[in-house]
Each structure stands twice: as structure tokens, then as C-alpha cells.
Amino acid sequence: MVSYDATPSISQVEQRMLELVFPDQGEAGAAAAHHLSAGGSRVRARLAIHAGRALGLSPRGTIAIATACELLHNASLVHDDLQDRDPLRRGQDAVWRRHGDAVAICTGDLLLSAAYGALAGTGAAAGSLIARMHARVGAVIRGQCEDLALQGGQVGALAAYERVASGKSAPLLILPIELALVLAGRYDAIGAAEHAGARFAIGYQMADDLDDVARDALNEELNIVAVLAAAGEARPREAARALAIRRFEEARAAAASLPRGCGGLLAEQSFARATALATDLETT
């Protein structure tokens, strides 16, 4: 079992994630453990840990929500890679390539169940945390279905693009801070966390698209530059970059407004990304 240090840390989250996927029990457990051991930035766990510390939550509660969010994210990666037939994840064979489709389905299921399992030790708040988490999982799945339905197609308007861009990734960026706010009883701030996460997700997708304009055009994949070009923008690439910067700035402002600095890490990340894009803009 994880021993709860005075200061919650990523290494405690790593240990707890491993415990929860039963790495010694069957092929899916081994596959999940291997997938987790291949690394990842653990952004969602870091957001939860930062928020938990800022809000003065117990180490046990903080580790629980950080572990839950990170496991959910990894569940979605394993199933997304299978759905999209992406062969590589973190420089290694994706689970479906290494273990086959059926075991990849089981592995994602195990990670999803483990995410809820992570919330078991949160006492009286467990029910509220579960309810929030299921609502966000529902939103992610809806976003993923919309994304799948769009593949090979196009969306016309910017609003539709932004809805798709935030649909499948915003919920899991919002959740770490949201669960920390629930544990702290700060339900009043969840709206701002939602706004910050959604803006960040949109900015992130736009920045990603800017790196992939040519490839996406070739594969007929949705790309903000193509959306703006179709809308009549004379310089769609520059317009897209400016729009991404604006979204990151909105995310930063909303995250910075959260109580007791609990959105500080998301604000920092937003600022860093806006700055990187602005520097890019000047040198283009």
C-alpha cells in the first residue's frame, strides 16, 4: 500500500496506479502496468496535486483524485489508440499492437475501473466525487463519438471546431481541479475551472493543428487552419495562431481566478504556451 507522505507526490500516484491495475493478475493487468511504466507527462495528476496542496486537502484525498484522473486519461489513451489504429504510444507499441484488440479493450476497461477504485479511500466525499467523475467521463465519450463521426469529414464553422476540440479533452483537464474543489467544498468555483479547462483544451488543439497543417490536409483531418481558410481568412495560419494565444490567455485568466491559487499550475501552463506561440508569431 502507498504510505501517505506529508507532501503528496507524483511517485505516490505512480505507486497507487500500479496497485490498482493488479499488475500480477492476468494479461490485462500486465499490459496496463506496462503502459503506465512507459511514462507520460502526468499533467492531470500534477494539476490535482497542485490544487490539493493549494486548497489544504489531506495527502490521502489529494493522491486519490490525482490517481483517479491520471488512470482515466490512460484508459482513454488505450481505447483511443485502438479506435484510431495508432501504432505507437510514448515511443512503444500501443497496447492493441502488442496484445491484440481484445486484450486492449480489457486493458482500457481495467484502467477505467481502477480510476473509480482510486476514489475508494476518500471517505464521505466519495459519492460526490464519483458523480462528478461519471459526468465528465460521459462528456469525454460523447466528444470521442463526435470526433469519430467527423473523421474524414469537415466542420464548417469555428464554433463547431471549438466544440469538437474541447469535447474529448476538456473534461479530463477540468476534472483534477474540479475534484479538488469538491473535496474542499468550493462548489462555487467549479464554473471557472470548467471555463479554464475548456479554453486550455481549445488552445492546445489549435497549437497542435499548427504543427500538423500539411499532414492533416493530406489525411483530410480537421485542422483549425483549414477551418479559418474555408471561412475566408486571408492569412489563416496567423489567424489560427492569434486565436490559440487568445484561448490560452482566457484559460490563464480563469485559472488564476480560482480560490487560493489552486489553478496556479494550469495558469502557468497556459501562460507558457501563449508565450511560446507569440514568440513563434514574431519569428514567422
The residues that touch its own copies, with contacts defined as CB under 8 A, are 20-22, 25-29, 75, 79, 82-83, 101-103, 105-106, 108-110, 112-114, 116-117, 119-124, 126-128, 130-131, 133-135, 137-139, 141-142, 144-146, 148-149
Rounded Cα distance between 76 and 144, Å, is: 9
The residue behind cell 495560419 is 237
Compare residues 102 and 214 and give the one whose CB is closer to its own copies. Answer: 102
211: exposed, middle or buried (Cβ count in 10 Å: 0-12, 13-18, 19+): exposed
Q: How far is the CB of 15 from its own copies (least distance, A)?
A: 17
Compare residues 130 and 158 and give the one whose CB is closer to its own copies. Answer: 130
Could you give the angle at the alpha carbon of 272 between the alpha carbons of 267 and 277, nearest 5°?
125
| 3-state DSSP assignment of residue 262 | coil
Rounded Cα distance between 210 and 236, Å, is: 10
Q: How far is the CB of 280 from its own copies (least distance, A)?
A: 34
Q: How far is the CB of 58 from its own copies (least distance, A)?
A: 14
Q: Longest C-alpha distance within the chain, in Å? A: 59
Compare residues 60 and 260 and give the one whose CB is closer to its own copies. Answer: 60
* Exposure class string for 46-75: b at 16+ Cβ within 10 A, else e: bbbbbbbbbbebebebbbbbbbbbbbbbbb
> Is the four-CA dihedral 78, 81, 85, 88 of positive or negative sign?
negative
Q: How far is the CB of 104 from its own copies (least distance, A)?
A: 9
Compare residues 45 and 139 and give the one whose CB is closer to its own copies. Answer: 139
Q: How far is the CB of 152 from its own copies (least distance, A)?
A: 13
Q: Are 7 and 59 in contact (CB under 8 A)?
A: yes
Compare residues 33 and 278 and give the one whose CB is closer to its own copies. Answer: 33
Q: What is the DSSP letter of 175?
A: H
Q: Are 210 and 162 in contact (CB under 8 A)?
A: no
Compare residues 75 and 192 and give the one whose CB is closer to its own copies. Answer: 75
Q: How far is the CB of 76 from its own copies (least distance, A)?
A: 8
Amino acid symbol at 10: I
Q: How far is the CB of 26 from its own copies (least distance, A)?
A: 4
Q: How far is the CB of 130 from its own copies (least distance, A)?
A: 5
Compare residues 150 and 242 and give the one whose CB is closer to its own copies. Answer: 150
Amino acid symbol at 188: D
Q: Are 63 and 20 in contact (CB under 8 A)?
A: no
Compare residues 100 and 259 and give the one whose CB is closer to its own copies. Answer: 100
